[in-house]
Amino acid sequence: MLKKIENNQYTGGAYKRATFVDKVCRNKKDRLVLDMLCQKGLVETGLGGTVAGDVYDGCWLTPKGWEALREVVEDRHQP
């Protein structure tokens, strides 16, 4: 789920923005995983915004979430 959040950031304008919750949470199970990650402090949710000023339910990794994602990626690359 951390990787899904990172890989699906909204890219309107000149920089990446919060990921749409609806894009990474397709069902109730995904939503429960997202809620668990929030409770563990790896992800935060809130309002995201488009370049046009429209708001949406967004999510993003916290510094702790970035660290966890980096550890997972490093573990996969070790023999």
> Is the C-alpha dihedral spanning 38, 63, 18, 76 positive or negative?
negative
| H helix or E strand, kind and range, residue 2 | helix 2-7
Determine contact, residues 18/8, Cβ cutoff 8 Å. Answer: no
Both tokens of 26, joined, read 């397709």
pTM attached to this predicted model = 0.84
Q: What is the dihedral of CA 73, 67, 23, 44, to 10 degrees?
A: 170
Q: What is the pLDDT along the chain (79 residues), one digit of tens a residue?
A: 999 999 999 887 777 889 999 999 999 999 999 999 999 999 999 999 888 889 999 999 999 999 999 988 777 766 6
Tell me the C-alpha distance between 47 and 30, whole Å: 19
